Amino acid sequence: MDARTIAATNKHIRRSIEEGSFREDLYYRISAITINLPPLRERGNDIMLLSDFFLRKYNIEFKKMLRGFKNSSMELLKSHYWPGNIRELENRIQRAVITSESRMIEPHNLGFTEEKLVQEDIRKEFATLREARNKVEREMILSMLDRHSGNIARAARELDISRPTLYDLIKKHGICACGMSG
């Protein structure tokens, strides 16, 4: 019998040998040819090439006719860290093909958390951290004031700030404090 063994790891074998957690003799038995493959996140356009490949594969398997990815989906794919490398990418594309109800894969089909989608929206919407902070701050104040029917004291308490601070923030954000109790 003529057999070949292909082995892969995400560990640094040389370091593992030095630390004594991998046998040096075994390394020399299996390392006739060594290929160092960088993680997906470091491989630039490979993400989109692989995404297109998996899209075609799963279109056939699930008898779908998806055309491609929306721009926002492509941006998510490019910006993700990919801790699971190609297997994670393949699983996300498979999920997207199964769940997509339109002709293009949308961000929510890729299975990223709402938090990741919000982060991507924030990055696109704001040029600076200050702009993002101001928007979130304003929306939280409006939400608390609405929840407490304009009662400044209760809104401030839930926001965990003092009433004077809340008044200052209301003024800063140009929120109409007319008719609000405190």
Give all strands (DSSP E) within 36-146, no chain letters. Answer: 68-69, 104-105
Contacts of 142 (CB under 8 A, 6+ apart): 175
**With 90 as the cut, is the pLDDT of residue 38 above it?**
no
Domains detected in the chain: 1-36 (no CATH), 40-121 (1.10.8.60), 126-172 (1.10.10)
Please, which residues bridge with residue 124 across strands?
none
Per-residue pLDDT tens digits for 121-130: 566 666 677 8
The token pair that represents 5 in the structure block:
């063994």
Residue, of 46 and 182, whose pLDDT is higher: 46
Q: What is the pTM of this model?
A: 0.56
- pLDDT band for 12, please (50, 70, 90 cuts): confident
